[in-house]
Amino acid sequence: HKNKKMSWNGYTDKIVKGGLTGAVIYGLTGGLWASSGKVSITAKEVATVVGGWSNENALRKSNAHVGGKKFIVLQVLESAIYAKGGTDGFCATKTGKCVIIGFFDKSMQAGAANMAVEAMGDFLVDAGY
């Protein structure tokens, strides 16, 4: 997907413009597709979050460690994972081919952040991703 980097970054840019502090899109099998804003998540951390969909208990027990910070996993749904660490949080949503993770701080309500990330997930699903 390297040749599509510019177009993919437009998607994460749109999430950040919605008020989130950062956003990434990774392929479900790995590989960074796009990144915008302040993001310090590694490919290994993304894989751990994605693993929460197949093993919710393991993710809840270990919590989600992202960028050296611990996030408590609040909820794991069929296509979304919600986590909070102090006044910060993230929402991860998956499509058939990728995972979108949006990060927010105390300046944004969790529900609004979740809607922004999940709306992008719905858009990508509709586009065949």
pLDDT digits (tens, 9 = 90+) for 26-59: 999 889 999 999 998 999 999 999 999 999 999 9
- Report residue 67's pLDDT band, with 50, 70 and 90 as the boundaries: confident
- Which distant-in-sequence residues (6+ apart) come within 8 Å of 83 by Cβ? 63, 64, 71, 72, 73, 74, 89, 90, 91, 92
Average of per-residue pLDDT across 91-109: 96
Average of per-residue pLDDT across 86-107: 96
pLDDT of residue 55: 95
pTM: 0.93
